[in-house]
Each structure stands twice: as C-alpha cells, then as structure tokens.
C-alpha cells in the first residue's frame, strides 16, 4: 500500500512538472516578428531576423525571459494581419515587430484598438503618424532625403529629375524630396510607375529628350537594374541617385551599372560589420540588421518580468532610450510632428564604389 501511494505521488509530481509552465516561461516576454522572409524584399526581412539572432547568440545569458516568434508576410498587408492574429491568439505574443509601410499601416489601427505595442521597421512616417501604439524603428523619410541632398550638393548638383514607383515607401521619399529642395534648385517628376513595370524605354527616351543629367530612380531593386540596363542600351547616361533599396539591387546580377550612384543610409560600426560578415557571409541591408540588433538589446536589457508586460510598461522600455551607443552610432527615441514616434540615428550620404556603399565625406 505504501509503495503504491509513493508511486502515485511520484507520478503526480512528474505530471505536474511536465504540464505546468516553468516560472521563466510564465514570465517570458514573447515578441512576434512579422517580416518579408520571402518575396521581392526578403533581404530586408532576413537582415532584421539576422540582427535579432546575432544579438541572441552573442548574449545567451539574456535570453531566459525573452523569446522571438517569426512569421513571413511577404510584404503583403493582408498576410501581415493574418500573421498578427496567429501570433496573438495561438502564440500569445506580448509585443510585435514588423517591417514596411504596408504592415505598419495595416496593423497600426489594430494595435491601437487592442492595446498592443508595435515596433515597425519603416521610414514612412505617414504609416504611423496617427497611431498611439506604433513606434518606428528608424528615421523618417525627410532625414534620409536631407542626407541624400547633402551628398548631391557636394557634387554640385542643383537640377534633379525622379522616376518613382507608386508604393508607400518610395512615395514618402518623393514627398520628402519635394519638400526639401532649395529655392535655387529644380525638380521634375518624369514618371510614376507601378511596382510591376519592367519596360522603361519610353520614360528613358523622354528623360533623354529633356536632357536630364541627374536622375533619381526611386524604384524597386529589380526595376532599378532593368532601368539602368535599358538606359545603357539607349545610350542615355546620367548621374544616378536613389533610395536605400539600392543596397538590395547591389546583390543582383549586372549591378555594376549602379557604380557611382548616390543614396543615404546609416554607417555601420566596423566591429558590427566584421561580426555580421563572419556569421552570415553577406551584407544585404546590413543597416537593417544593425538596427534590429540594437532594438533587441533595448527590449532584452530593459525588460524586467517583475514589472509585468502591460502596454505602458513595454512602451517605457523604448521611450526612455536617449543617446544610446549602437551599431550605427548614438541613437535616441524621438517624438515630434514630423516623424511621429521613432528612433533617430546618424545618417550619411553614400556612393556606390566597387559594388558597396561608401560614405561621402
């Protein structure tokens, strides 16, 4: 009788330990990460995931109370919403990361209504300006454009033309460019195209006829290369400037046609570049990886399970960041009318040299 009772007690104890979550699991902060891990902008999503995982691999002692769950939305707003619902209801996620203006625009009203916090990796301030619970992970479009114009002005450029793809990110860059040129500078919008456009010959002939010398291609990576190849075939040469999408185009075949192009982005610390290269052997959208690494450090170092996981507690983890050393220099949480709620980083003009973006000094 005693043996049977003892065995029953042992069995009950084992069952309890097996079925009940540990103290660490009960207090764990779950972060749902919604990214384009496949599709045309997969290198952005992959870079963000790599940045998160690099931080976790370098700081294993900080992982006990933090977990990350990834979902692929292929840069599609409907898929972003589906991923959010799955992460919230099935995985019981507490905090969300996402990429791009489609996800940010779609999820902003939802997280406001459901009192969740979303950290969105996008420079398109319009996608988050009217939300309460969305913080953008990096600078607004005007910050990129001011740095870009600084680089162009160093080259003596004053007359500009732009071909733009109709999408949230590039539209925000175009609007910022229009709002930041000086009175003695001039801008022509040569064409607005849809994201599936691949025949630019008529646009090239128009720009050639207008004798455009400095042309901005605010296009998707594959469009950018196709435009440049078609321009070469039609013997149209010009000074090229672009958005940070150019760093994706640099990895595609025939990217040599982008040599000399000017754009704006973060300048990564060499120590991060070296560590990232050793682990991942690529540099596609490395600033995104560095940004994700830094924000993983913010939330991992700032979260204390004793404080709980409600909206106001999680928000303070991010809003108290001021002058913090990161992979692209000192960065801070900012809240203003121009950019909404976001993190500001040092921004620089770059020029493509030897297939890489080199800071213009």
Domain CATH number, residue 210: 3.40.50.2300
Domain contains 200? yes
pTM recorded for the entire structure: 0.88
Mean pLDDT of 79-103: 97
* One domain, residues 133 and 281: yes
Residue 153 has a pLDDT of 95
Q: How many CA atoms lie within 13 A of 189 on its CB side?
A: 13
What per-residue confidence (pLDDT) applies to 249?
Answer: 87
Number of domains in the chain: 2
Report if residue 15 sits inside a domain. Answer: no
Same domain, yes or no: 237 and 279: no
Q: What is the pLDDT of residues 119-167, one digit of tens each?
A: 999 999 999 988 999 999 999 999 999 999 999 999 999 999 999 999 9
Question: What confidence category does residue 275 fall into, taking pLDDT thresholds of 50, 70 and 90?
Answer: very high
pLDDT tens column, 49-77: 999 999 999 999 988 899 999 999 999 99
Together in a domain, 85 and 160: no
Is residue 3 included in any domain, yes or no?
no
Residue 282: pLDDT band (50, 70, 90) is confident
Same domain, 35 and 83: yes
- Domain around 235: 142-265
Last residue of a domain, one of 240, 265, 290: 265
Where a domain ends, among 246, 265, 284?
265
Question: Do residues 183 and 252 both lie within one domain?
Answer: yes
Task: Give domain status of residue 205, yes or no.
Answer: yes
**Pair 259, 311 in one domain:** no
Cβ–Cβ under 8 Å, residues 349 and 359:
yes
Q: What pLDDT sits at residue 251?
A: 79
Q: Are residues 147 and 246 in the same domain?
A: yes
Q: pLDDT confidence of 40, banded at 50, 70, 90?
A: confident
Bigger pLDDT: 2 or 99?
99
pLDDT greater than 70 at residue 116? yes
Q: Which of 265, 291, 316 is the last residue of a domain?
A: 265
Q: Which residue has the higher pLDDT, 229 or 11?
A: 229
Same domain, 149 and 225: yes
* Same domain flag for 153 and 233: yes
Q: Are residues 106 and 148 in the same domain?
A: no
Compute the mean pLDDT over every residue in the chain, rounded to the nearest whole number: 91
Q: Using one digit for the tens of pLDDT, what is the confidence trace for 159-176?
A: 999 999 999 999 999 999
Distance of CA 99 to the CA centre of its chain: 5
pLDDT at 262: 96
**What is the pLDDT at residue 240?**
97
């Amino acid at each position: 009788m005693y043996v049977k009772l003892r065995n029953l007690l042992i069995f009950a104890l084992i069952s309890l330990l097996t079925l009940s979550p540990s103290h660490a699991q009960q207090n764990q902060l779950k972060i749902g990460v919604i990214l384009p891990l496949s599709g045309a902008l997969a290198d952005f999503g992959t870079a963000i995931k790599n940045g998160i995982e690099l931080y976790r691999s370098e700081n294993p002692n900080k992982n006990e109370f933090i977990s990350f769950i990834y979902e692929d939305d292929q840069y599609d707003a409907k898929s972003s919403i589906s991923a959010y619902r799955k992460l919230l209801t099935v995985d019981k996620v507490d905090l969300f990361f996402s990429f791009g203006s489609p996800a940010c625009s779609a999820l902003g009203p939802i997280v406001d209504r459901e009192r969740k916090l979303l950290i969105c990796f996008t420079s398109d301030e319009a996608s988050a300006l009217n939300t309460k619970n969305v913080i953008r992970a990096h600078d607004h479009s005007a910050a990129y454009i001011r740095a870009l114009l600084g680089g162009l002005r160093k080259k003596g450029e004053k007359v500009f033309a732009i071909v733009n793809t109709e999408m949230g990110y590039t539209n925000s860059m175009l609007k910022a460019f229009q709002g930041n040129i000086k009175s003695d500078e001039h801008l022509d919008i040569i064409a607005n195209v849809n994201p599936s456009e691949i025949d630019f010959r008529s646009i090239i002939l128009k720009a050639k006829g207008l004798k455009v010398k400095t042309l901005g291609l605010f296009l998707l990576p594959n469009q950018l290369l196709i435009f440049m190849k078609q321009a070469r075939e039609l013997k149209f040469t010009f000074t090229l400037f672009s958005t940070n999408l150019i760093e994706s185009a640099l990895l595609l075949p025939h990217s040599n046609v982008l040599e000399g192009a000017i754009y704006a982005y973060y300048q990564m610390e060499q120590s991060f570049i070296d560590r990232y290269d050793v682990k991942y052997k690529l540099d596609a959208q490395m600033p995104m990886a560095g940004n994700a690494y830094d924000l993983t450090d913010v939330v991992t170092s700032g979260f204390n399970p004793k404080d709980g996981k409600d909206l106001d507690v999680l928000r303070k983890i991010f809003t108290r960041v001021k002058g913090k050393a990161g992979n692209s220099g000192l960065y801070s949480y900012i809240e203003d009318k121009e950019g909404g709620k976001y993190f500001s980083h040092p921004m620089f003009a770059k020029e493509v040299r030897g297939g890489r973006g080199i800071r213009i000094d």
